[in-house]
Structure 1
Amino acid sequence: MTASLLVRRPSVAFLAGWLFAALLFAGWSLATPISSAPDEPSHVVKAAATVRGDLTGGPTDATGIEAFTLPRDVSDLGGAMACTAAQPTVPATCQPDLDSFGDDEFAATSGVGSYNPLYYALVGWPSLFLGGDAAVIGMRLVSALVNAFFVGVVAWAAAQMRRGSAVAAWSAVALTPMATYLGGMVNPNGVEVTGCLALAAMAWLIVHDPDGPRLGVRAGALVVAGVVAGNARSASPLFVLLIVVAVLLTVPVRDVGDLLRRRPVWLAAAVAAVGLGAAAAWTVLVAAPAGFIPSSDPARDTLLPAVLHTLAATENYGTEMIGVLGWFDTGLPQPVYYGWTAGVGLVVAGALGFARRRALVGAGLLMVALLLVPSVLQAPSAAAFGYIWQGRYSLPVFVGMVIVAGLAWQHARPSHERWLRLVVVVVSAATVGQVASFATAYRRYSVGVSRPFRDVLEPGSWQAPGGLVAVALVFVVGAVGLGVLGVLVTRAVEAAAAEIPSRADAPASADAPSSVDASPVRADGGEEPAAGTDPALDVAPGRATHAPRA
């Protein structure tokens, strides 16, 4: 694979991104035992029921709990199957064999029975043909493929962004170990995160380059990401709206009006409105009346104390966004937390220090939202349900913030060579952090956190399907492959930008990167405005232009 091919044929970047992300997520799918992921027993029950036509289950005496009748070997995932939950020293060897449970009917309960059924319909179908471990792992792998698709969309968008050549670095920071871990589990939180990641990248590409080729395909990808992510969980439509509004704020209002007059865009907006309207309707009519599972914490506070309590927990939420795996029982190595915190700080500081005012407004909206959304969504119900927010619930806003802030920074400082070095450093560090997190989680479930890594190889330790070597190879190939792809895309986009003066009079290729325009490049890597334009606005007198702008 040559770097130039990725720019000339962005679909190659998409397929490569999808493949490597699928391997990365599949590594997590196989390396963690059944019922070890957050609330996974409930999500598996919901998925198995959804594909059998039962979308909401029946009521029970417990708030937020619904009942379903399903084959026992795809639904009896609590009890002994969850023997590792909240016990980090207990390895997965304590689990019984799910295949031995039989397929007789079982009265299963789920705490997510009232959730939007879209995600569950996408991932639940393996349970119609498989049973036991194979059914659950099959659902995990399908979920990994769905999540990987959206990472592929990000790679496709990155290959078309001349001023966004460092998207690989922003994506590496955004996809924390917690995000990639969720990408391989049966949990709609994963697709909410990856969908919002793709949404932010595609929205930026469309808004800053509406004259690029295949606007209809771009708009279609935007709609798919937005609608799938927006139908994941109750708060998802809000997250999607925040990201889209933030990106629109990075350009003048008149440009937004021009954009919405384009047929592919307004058609996409109409479809998205229907899809997100359906999500909102499900939340109001089905999910909200069903209630939520109350927190086990006895604290119940009124609005103002709940807001202050939630704000005080911001640091904890940040740690959880980077990664506290399993049932809050598997922490990551301290250098992983330090490294990711530094990466996020770099992106935020870059945007605050260098982004142009208009672009900073959009990035700033998501920064503020990341801080306040937990309070806005949790505090009003704290008196009834207690404190139920987890850091991973904020990840959709977090990934959008990192992408928008990173692109806002880069648009103000388009020097190419510097960004390639940054991509190499950030992507390399993130890859090491992902592998270290994977190894830590595998050790925890194989022998428990109190045992040394070498004991993973001892007889009697828990092993993933296929064995440690095979699963680790799948994960490492996915992680390293994504990193290499990101560097290659960056090199290709920057090389294409450097060639612009010599190609200014050449006819554009249909597959050329759409955001490559004919603006001359200065010696410092920036751009000279085209003749007759206002450099402050990137607008030619008397007309609007759709050249990339900060």
Structure 2
Amino acid sequence: MSRTPRVRISERLAWSRRVWLLAFAAFGLLAAAWSLAMPVDGTTDERQHLERAYGAVSGHLLGPQGVDPLVHRPGAAFQVPKSLLPPNALCVYFPNYRQDRSWVANPASCQRPAPATHAKVRVVSWVGRYNPLYYLAVGAPLRFSPDLTGIILSRLLAATLSAAFAATAAAIAVRTRRPLLLAAILTVMTPTTVALSSTVNPNGVEITAATLLWVCLVDLARPRLSGATNQRLLLGLAAVAGAVVLTVRAMGPFWFALAVAGAAAIAEPGRLRELLRRPAARLTAGAWVVVGALAVAWNVVSGNNKVTHTLIAVHPADRSVVTLLRVIAVERVGGWFTEAFALDIQASWVPLLWAALSAAVLIPLALLRARRVVLTALAVAAVSLGITVVLEIRFLGTLGWSQYGRYFLPGLAGVAVLLAAPFDDLPAALARRLPRLFALGAAAAQLWVLMVEMTRVQSGPVAPLNPLAGSWHPAVGSPAVLLVAALGAAALIALVWTATPAQASLPSPAGPYHGAKPQPGVEAGNTPLRHLMA
């Protein structure tokens, strides 16, 4: 006798929870390793974000206008405890305050200990006018422990937040039996994404939330992709992820609009009208409108959208667009993509090889997509890169060469999701081996970049690879950091192995997607590729 539907549903829910927890452990442990490994201000602009976070949690949501002394960049002034930061935190990146020297890194032993006193000192953070919501979410430990302990706890909160978004996106891919989508999500979770997620910097959670937003929107636009996933659940997840993308950074409304436009462009005929007839969808759209309006209003009222002349401004003799585009193509674009995979270091062959293998798999498979999906993915990629070029030229005379590869990762996440989401009928062998290959590559790249970065901050930028050596070590010890990272990599591999057994051992989908209209004889959630390409 077959088991009752209630028992089968209970088993499916238990299995889904195990998958999510395993994904959360994988991404969370990898990010936690970075949180423990890096010195104060050891990752991009962390000092500025720490000052902003302390100001927010101590009640100063918007400080008075000020000018950063390093590059004369406008921001907001805050009073922070002297114990929060070493007096020369920037020595990890700069030998002095001169701007005519290239970037030079030193081992973190160059930092002098932060004073034990909680006496306040005035600082100016150039991110001091960013929306305070992210900083309120992760900065609470700084209020009660304004020192290295509080910094690490705030980093771990940020890592937890990003891991939850990444794990949810991965769990949707696993639950709906789309191994290629799971593999694509692993490519979006580059070492740069994980490193940014591990620090007090809204860029990391922006990337992971954007990834989840793309997954939810694409599945809502083409419901036959995920027949086992409840629409209300997808709408709820999209509502949260969209609100985060809209608020955490000034460019958030742009990336949100790109995701909505990209999903609408590939929607099944009549799907948008069907969605808008649903109260939950209208409520989600209304919430986005309110949150988006408030986010834009904050940027305008706070002055976050205003940038004046800085000491790092660049004024080339030939400012013609053609010349600037040539310079950007030759000198900047390669660095953008390098930084998108390996933050703050010269990317070695390991992450670049992983990126090349990922492209070698995703691009040929993209040729099997419907023409509309391919064109939409190409448009999203072009817009993501194009806006970065436009901003590079726009702010050259004030911020200098100011754009980086990590800035367009929210858009590239959409490209990966668009190209990978519709596949759910890969041959059984390929469906198992492909994501497992990606998992091994991702785990290797994550560990390699972390070890290179640990060597840099512990021994200096020219030291041979050895994450156990150096004149500086994390408070928990370098071996403990590597152990946490290894556990995260093992959990990542275990996640993919768990998600890709023989099909017979996987729980059956919960049933048709509410509102989906699969073709006769076609089971929802297992739609042949020819029907999805119609």
Scaled by the length of structure 1, the TM-score of the pair is 0.84
Q: CA deviation at 1:265?
A: 1.7
Q: 1:445 to 1:417 in 2, by over 3 A?
A: same
Greater Cα offset, 81-90 or 330-339? 81-90
- Alpha-carbon offset, residue 228 of structure 1: 0.8
1:224 Cα offset (Å): 0.9
Q: Which of 360, 377, 389 is the matching residue for 2:374?
A: 360
Distance 1:201 1:526 in 2: 17
From the superposition, tell whether residues 436 and 253 of structure 1 become closer, same or farther in structure 2 (CA, over 3 Å): same
Rounded Cα–Cα distance in structure 1 between residues aligned with 2:197 and 2:324: 31
Q: Distance in 1 between matches of 2:387 and 2:362?
A: 20
SS of 1:70's equivalent in the other structure is strand
The corresponding residue for 2:333 is: 314
Other-structure match for 2:347: 332
For structure 1, the residue ranges without an aligned partner over 5 or more in a row are 501-507, 529-534, 539-547
Match of 2:242 in 1: 226
Give the AA of the match of 1:140: R
Q: CA–CA distance in 1 between the matches of 2:437 and 2:321?
A: 44
Is 1:48 paired with 2:58? no
Matching residue within 465, 472, 476 for 1:466: 476
Alignment of 1:178-193 (within 5 A): 178-193=192-207
Cα offset for 1:294?
3.6
1:40 CA displacement: 0.7
The answer to which of 289-298 and 312-321 deviates more is 289-298
Could you tell me how far apart the structure 1 residues matched to 2:38 and 2:281 are? 42
CA displacement at 1:9 relative to structure 2? 3.9
Using the TM superposition, give the Cα deviation of residue 549 of structure 1 relative to its aligned residue in structure 2, in angstroms. Answer: 6.1
Contact 1:10 1:511 in 2 (8 A): no
- Alpha-carbon shift at residue 248 of structure 1 (Å): 2.4
Given that residues 140 and 186 in structure 1 are in contact (C-alpha distance below 8 angstroms), is that contact kept between their aligned partners in structure 2?
Answer: yes
Specify the code of the residue in structure 1 equivalent to 2:199.
Answer: M
Contact 1:84 1:90 in 2 (8 A): yes
Work out whether 1:265 is the aligned partner of 2:281: yes
The one-letter amino acid of 1:440's match is V
CA distance in 1, matches of 2:110, 2:363: 44
How far apart are residue 229 of structure 1 and its match?
1.9
2:217 maps to which of 198, 203, 207 = 203
* Cα drift, residue 468 of structure 1: 1.5
Q: Distance in 1 between matches of 2:533 and 2:175?
A: 15
Q: Shift of the alpha carbon at 1:230?
A: 1.9
Which amino acid in the other structure matches residue 191 of structure 1?
V
**Equivalent residues of 1:251, 1:358 under 8 A apart:** no
- Mapped to 2, the partners of 1:516 and 1:295 lie a distance apart of 60
Partner of 2:413: 399
Q: Is the 8 A contact 1:250 1:359 kept in 2?
A: yes
Aligned residue among 59, 73, 85 for 2:93 = 85
Match of 1:344 in 2: 359
Task: Report the Cα offset of residue 382 of structure 1.
Answer: 3.0
Secondary structure in 1 matching 2:463: coil
Do the aligned partners of 2:40 and 2:89 also contact (CA within 8 Å) in 1?
yes
Deviation per residue, 1:515-545 (Å, 9 max, x gap) = 9999558xxx9856xxxxxx97x5xxxxxxx
Q: Is the 8 A contact 2:338 2:347 kept in 1?
A: no
Give the drift of 1:457.
4.1
In the alignment, which of 426, 432, 436 is matched to residue 424 of structure 1?
436
1:255 aligns with 2:271: yes
Partner in structure 1 of residue 254 of structure 2:
238
1:227-276 residue CA offsets vs partner (Å, 9 max, x unmatched): 11221111111112112221222223411221222222221121122112
Is the CA contact 1:151–1:198 (under 8 Å) kept in the aligned structure 2? yes
The 1:93–1:343 alpha-carbon spacing in structure 2 relative to 1, beyond 3 Å, is: same
Please report how far the alpha carbon of residue 414 of structure 1 lies from its aligned counterpart in structure 2 after TM superposition.
Answer: 3.4
What's 1:298 paired with? 314
Mark the runs of 5 or more structure 2 residues left unpaired by the alignment. Answer: 1-9, 95-102
Give, in whole Å, the separation in 2 of the partners of 1:261 and 1:393. Answer: 35
SS of 1:370 mapped into structure 2: helix
Q: Is the 8 A contact 1:231 1:276 kept in 2?
A: yes
User: How far apart are 1:424 and its partner, in Å?
Assistant: 0.9
Q: Tell me, yes or no, if the aligned pair for 1:57 and 1:67 is still in contact at 8 Å.
A: yes
Matches of 2:139 and 2:106, distance apart in 1: 29
Q: 1:432 to 1:63 in 2, by over 3 A?
A: closer
> Which amino acid letter does the alignment assign opposite residue 393 of structure 1?
Y
Q: Using the alignment, how far apart are the partners of 2:483 and 2:106 within structure 1?
A: 25
What's the secondary structure of 1:228's corresponding residue? helix
Residues 436-494 of structure 1: per-residue CA shift (max 9 Å, x gap) = 1111111111112333345x545x73111211221111111112212321332243778
DSSP 3-state at the match of 1:96: coil
Contact 1:46 1:112 in 2 (8 A): yes
Q: 1:264 to 1:382 in 2, by over 3 A?
A: same
1:161/1:493 contact within 8 Å kept: no
Displacement of 1:373 in angstroms is: 1.8
Structure 1 CA distance, aligned partners of 2:420 and 2:285?
Answer: 25
Q: Distance in 2 between matches of 1:112 and 1:385?
A: 14
Q: RMSD of the alignment, in Å?
A: 3.1
Taking the TM superposition and a 5 Å limit, the aligned residue runs for 1:139-218 are 139-162=154-177, 164-209=178-223, 212=228, 214-218=230-234
Deviation of 1:217 (Å): 2.4
Structure 2 residue aligned with 1:482: 492
Q: 1:292 to 1:118 in 2, by over 3 A?
A: farther
The match for 1:130 is 145
CA 1:241–1:483 in structure 2 vs 1: closer, same or farther (change >3 Å)?
A: farther
Q: Does 2:295 correspond to 1:279?
A: yes
Structure 1, residues 329-377: CA drift from partner, whole Å, max 9, x if none?
x2232232132133134323321x1111122233222221233121233
Match among 388, 404, 407 for residue 390 of structure 1:
404
